[in-house]
Structure 1
Amino acid sequence: MVPGSSPGGPTTLILKKRSKKMIIRKLKEIIEILISAEEDAKKISSGNASAGRRVRKVCMDATKDLKDLRAEILKEIKK
């Protein structure tokens, strides 16, 4: 909470709205990254090993980002 503001006051509401927008933005970014890996995923069936490595990397990065996002959501809920 911002110093000098009362609990549940206008400043708290603004911070909650910003946080909600940030969470939605981060989730959309993760989804876009996964969608962008679709072309490489299609190449895997034709035996393209490099495409497989790229898709695995995207999946690992997405997993890490989703875990971070989950932690942020839990932190917001506990406020």
Structure 2
Amino acid sequence: MGLGGISIWQLLIILAIVLLLFGAKRLRNVGSDLGEAIKGFKKSVREGEEEKPAEADKPQLKESADDAIEGEVTSKDKKEV
């Protein structure tokens, strides 16, 4: 028994048919393109995970006059004084 009830001989016959239809060169190109796509996806996932903690550690410094509570001294008020 092979994968899901498919024997080794059946897999070899399927492989031979695919090779006849597409050719070895074209299958190699498809395989390398697929490998590069997977590498790029993994790299972008890794970079995304590295950016999230860095963004969470940064304090939120953006404050507008509308967000300030009455009576609270803002950086805009400090400049006017």
How would you bin the TM-score normalised by the shorter chain?
Answer: 0.3 to 0.5
Higher RCO (CA < 8 A, seq sep 6+): 1
Q: TM-score, normalised by structure 2?
A: 0.44
